[in-house]
Amino acid sequence: MSATLTSALWALGRGTGVVALVLFTSAIVLGILARSGRRVAGLGRFGISDLHRAAALTGAGLVVAHVGSLLFDPYAQLRLVDLALPFLASYRPLWLGLGTLTLDLLVVVTVVSLLRGRLGPRVFRVVHWATYVLWPIAVLHALGSGTDAGSTWFRTLAAVCVGSVIVAVGWRLVPSYGGRGWAREPRRSA
Amino acid sequence: MPVRPLHASTERRLVTTRLHIDWTRCDGHGSCVELLPDQLGVDDFGFPVPRSGQRDPVVPRRAEDAARHAVRNCPVMALRMYDAAS
Amino acid sequence: MTTAPSALARRLLDGAGADHEAHVARYGALPGLRLDDLLAAVADSGLTGRGGGGFPAATKVRAVAQGARRPVVVGNGIEGEPLSSKDAVLLNRNPHLVLDGLEVLARALHAKRAILAVGPEIEPGPVTDAARRRPVHLVALAGGFVAGQETALVNGLNGQAPLPRDPFTRVTESGVDDRPTLVLNVETLAQIALVARYGATWFRSAGLPDDPGTSLFTISGSVSRPGVIEAERGARLSDALAPARPVRPAAVLVGGYHGAWVPASDLGARLTRAELAPYSASVGTGILHVLDTETCPLDLSADVMDYLARQSARQCGPCLNGLPRMASDLHRLAVGVRDPDLPNELERMAALVTGRGACAHPDGSARFVASTLRVFRGHVAAHLEGRCPSARSTRARSVAS
């Protein structure tokens, strides 16, 4: 493998990883916004849901490219088994393992989301909660194994991502979040 | 009386597409109302109201894409489309 | 008003209690019918469901018979409607006739299970004794106004919360244990037991050609002898009420809290679909509640709406929000708030919730509100002028409090 190709793959791997992180961050914020039922000027409520979906699916696509490019990377020395089972890699096993964990969760969440019409809302909702685990693991993976982790621009980017998710989740937990005029509390003993 | 082209009669559908709302799921997000403004209005509490007054409103052919979008877009999966004999 | 004995019938109520031998001596042995024969008899009889919906019984039986799997047959004895006690009286006096209906259907349909579901209003003794040694599972469930709704009953029997579910998938397709499920009111089952024994022609010897047979009625309110009677279908309202001896009737609530008012001036109306249609009323579960001339109908209706709003399963937005809104507007009208927009607002809200719920609760509650405004139009107008024509109005007290 030529040095040019190797460095191109390395750049592709890094780039797709960083953009995927940004997209997943957007997907979480948009998902929380969509669930709130609030309207954003110029987008409409359905637009937020569509964007949430587009960001998440594009992010998933980029993760495929990210993993694919690193599979051929001579430094990372990834084996196929490392794509499924975490913490077995020879190169930075902990930080790469977190990436594998992210990938596993991402596959489950994506497949369940695409099949939610068949699986029903209960399964969908429970599995979708896994994104709140998936995203922090992905961030840790990026900070730990990313080549750019030490650079200022990446630290700034990561801080912005973490900050937005903390703000969004914080809002999600405020009682007025679901405040569209009614409380949904089905009686359990009719 | 204007003469309608022949193919117009073959376009008459024997089945109509209807939109069903599962009210036990509906949370009143309102994205379906935005996507189907001619078919759905919104009530005092933010929940969709079929403008036709039908329980499961008929979806005209020109609105089928928008209805499919609404079904896919509903955050709580409260919508479905089905064909029924008209 | 003269008593017309012809209106009364004795098909269901003079049963033999829990004693099976006496029951067989009274009605004869239960024949084993093939599905085709049973279906033909039930269809020819013209029997309609006695649980409120008034749906032809044969249509439901046919629907489960076409199912892919062996069905489950369920007798609905929840009777969550507080003004009704006809199911309790029937199961007390004639439990075997209800069990006969379940058994003859279960056999003809090769049902996987036959279940008799009873609510807390049913006295457990006689029905428990009768169900012993009969191929029927007796299940006691929690009550509540909406617990008797078909889908809520199925959810309850499946071990889930007894709340209505989205009716998109009919229980005749998938209900108890995901099997095709036939849910029939216990009175309907007793009628089927009679049709199976004596045939459609006999069944049609009572009632009217387009609404044949007999029905149980629970009579309450301003009467000197409240209770359950059996009358021919299509009897005049006055004749059905006569045995209970109404006292100064102003109006009769036909069909219970999900029903509609018929003013006392129109008690000559027959209890048929056609003659009750102008009032938006239907026989429903056979509730006849008499309102006297001294009680303020708006006071009473507001209290009923409070109850109905509280009984919402709180699953569907329009019901959860719309019913309390109607209750509070009715109270405002009742206590004499002189807002001329109140009746329009109530009518608008009634139309708004109709057809927008998983069960019949919003529709039935809206029908009650619309009927109250229509039948007591003059009374509403008087309230808007600041006076109440009823002698025993609580308006003064309410305003003072």
Check: CB of residue C178 under 8 Å from CB of residue C155: no
The answer to whether residue C395 sits within a structural domain is yes
By C-alpha distance, the chain C residue nearest A190 is C144
Residue-level pLDDT at B13? 56
b or e along C14-43 (b: 16 or more beta carbons within 10 Å of the residue's beta carbon)? ebbbbebeebeeebeebeebeeeebbebbb
Per-residue pLDDT band for A87 (boundaries 50, 70, 90) equals confident
For tokens 């807390």, what's the residue? C120
Residues in chain A: 190
Asked if the Cβ–Cβ distance from C358 to B23 is below 8 Å, we say yes
Domain ranges of chain A: 3-174
Give C390→chain B minimum CA distance, Å.
34
Mean pLDDT of A16-41: 90
Mutate to test the interface with C, among B18, B20, B24 (most CBs of C within 10 A): B24
Name the domain boundary from C175, C203, C231.
Answer: C203
Give residue-wise pLDDT tens across range C151-196. Answer: 999 999 999 999 999 999 999 999 999 999 999 999 999 999 999 9
Q: Is B22 on the interface with C (CB under 8 A)?
A: yes
Question: Mean pLDDT score of chain A, rounded to an integer?
Answer: 85
For the domain that residue C170 is a member of, what is the CATH number?
A: 3.40.50.11540
Residue-level pLDDT at B12? 56
Mean pLDDT of A68-89: 77
Asked if the Cβ–Cβ distance from C356 to B45 is below 8 Å, we say no
C252: tokens are 């009769």
Check: CB of residue A72 under 8 Å from CB of residue A79: no
Name the domain boundary from C186, C203, C220.
Answer: C203
Q: Does residue C58 carry a pLDDT above 70?
A: yes
**Range with top average pLDDT, A67-81, B6-20, C107-121:** C107-121
Check: CB of residue C354 under 8 Å from CB of residue C363: yes
Give residue-wise pLDDT tens across range C255-307. Answer: 999 999 999 999 999 999 899 999 999 999 999 999 999 999 999 999 999 99
Of C144, C313, C321, the CB nearest to A186: C313
Q: Does residue A120 carry a pLDDT above 90?
A: no
* Cβ–Cβ pairs < 8 A, chains A and C: 27
CA distance C364 to C259: 7
Per-residue pLDDT band for A8 (boundaries 50, 70, 90) equals confident
Of B28, B31, B76, the CB nearest to A121: B76
Q: Is C88 on the interface with A (CB under 8 A)?
A: no
CA distance A156 to A164: 12
Q: Chain B contacts of A183, Cβ < 8 Å?
A: none
The answer to whether residue C214 sits within a structural domain is no
Q: Does residue B75 carry a pLDDT above 90?
A: no
Q: Which of B73, B80, B48 is nearest to C169 (CA)?
A: B80
What is the DSSP secondary structure assignment for residue C56, as one 8-state letter? Answer: B
Name the domain boundary from C188, C203, C218.
Answer: C203
The answer to whether residue C240 sits within a structural domain is no
CA distance C35 to C66: 11
State which residues form the domain around C385.
297-400
The CATH number of B27-85 is: 3.30.70.20
For the domain that residue C334 is a member of, what is the CATH number?
A: 1.20.1440.230
Q: Which residue would you say has higher pLDDT here, C284 or A6?
A: C284
Mean pLDDT of C14-23: 90
Q: Which of A38, A32, A30 is nearest to A58 (CA)?
A: A30
Domain ranges of chain B: 27-85
Rounded alpha-carbon distances, angstroms, from residue C313 to A187, B24, C163, C316: 6, 10, 6, 8
By C-alpha distance, the chain B residue nearest A52 is B73
Per-residue pLDDT band for C3 (boundaries 50, 70, 90) equals very low
Residue-level pLDDT at A1? 57
CA distance A118 to A109: 14
Per-residue pLDDT band for C7 (boundaries 50, 70, 90) equals low
Helices (H), chain A: 3-36, 44-71, 80-84, 93-114, 116-128, 131-145, 152-173
Overall domain count for chain C: 2
